[in-house]
């Protein structure tokens, strides 16, 4: 169209392996300078676009990865998509301990998102501690039901097409099923976890 400029898209940081485990997020703690991607791109013809898409995005402050998206459901002792020893990616336990995923109470209210661990003036570990237990308001677009959940993990994997993972208890409260669309916002830290 005449006179209109294309809007640049924000590229998502890829903090290493995106599995929801502490082992995978340890790789994410080292910032990617992009030098390896640039040198590999120079060696391989046609790889410039790939290298550019893997460049690290550094946010000015903590930002939600998405304001709306599809949900997945995870956690608790019956979650067979994870190993018993897998730990949460955020230090949500007492004294900053990384809890085990299967130790989560499925009736409680928690979530995961693909947080950007690269924020100006903060180390990735400081970013993880900033997101740990931060409260989010998740709203079912179809019926208006809302629930406050706490951030406990990194995920769901980007290949799944889901934007936020929530507890079975939060999904029941919202009246949502796997893949349903929800609105996502930061919640007032004073709000209690659960239905709103």
Question: Cα Rg for the chain, rounded, in angstroms?
Answer: 18
CATH entry, 16-188, from 2.40.40.10, 2.40.50.140, 3.10.129.10, 3.40.50.300: 2.40.40.10
The pair of structure tokens assigned to 126 is 């400081």
The pTM for the full model equals 0.72
C-alpha–C-alpha distance, residues 169 and 147, integer Å: 10
Residue 61 half-sphere exposure toward CB, CA atoms < 13 A: 0
pLDDT tens per residue, range 9-24: 444 444 443 333 333 3
pLDDT tens per residue, range 38-71: 333 344 444 454 444 567 888 889 999 999 999 9
State the pLDDT at residue 80.
82
Instruction: List the chain pLDDT tens, one digit each, 196 residues.
Output: 445 455 444 444 444 433 333 333 333 333 333 333 333 334 444 445 444 456 788 888 999 999 999 999 998 887 888 888 899 999 999 888 999 888 899 999 999 999 999 999 999 999 999 999 999 999 999 999 999 999 999 999 999 999 999 999 999 999 999 999 999 999 999 999 999 9
Structural domain boundaries of the chain? 16-188
């Amino acid at each position: 169209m005449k006179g209109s400029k294309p809007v640049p898209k924000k590229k998502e940081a890829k903090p290493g392996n995106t599995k929801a485990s502490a082992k995978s997020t340890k790789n994410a703690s080292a910032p990617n300078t992009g030098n390896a991607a640039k040198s590999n791109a120079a060696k391989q013809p046609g790889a410039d676009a790939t290298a550019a898409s893997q460049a690290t995005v550094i946010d000015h402050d903590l930002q939600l990865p998405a304001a709306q998206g599809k949900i997945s459901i995870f956690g608790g002792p019956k979650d067979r998509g994870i190993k018993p020893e897998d730990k949460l990616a955020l230090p949500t336990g007492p004294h900053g301990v990384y809890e085990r995923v299967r130790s989560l109470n499925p009736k409680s209210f928690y979530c995961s998102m693909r947080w950007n661990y690269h924020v100006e003036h903060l180390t990735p570990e400081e970013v993880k501690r900033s997101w740990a237990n931060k409260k989010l308001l998740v709203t079912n677009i179809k019926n208006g039901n809302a629930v406050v959940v706490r951030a406990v993990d990194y995920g769901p994997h980007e290949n799944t097409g889901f934007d936020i993972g929530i507890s079975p208890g939060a999904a029941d409260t919202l009246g949502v099923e796997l893949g349903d669309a929800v609105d996502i916002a930061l919640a007032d830290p004073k709000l209690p976890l659960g239905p709103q």
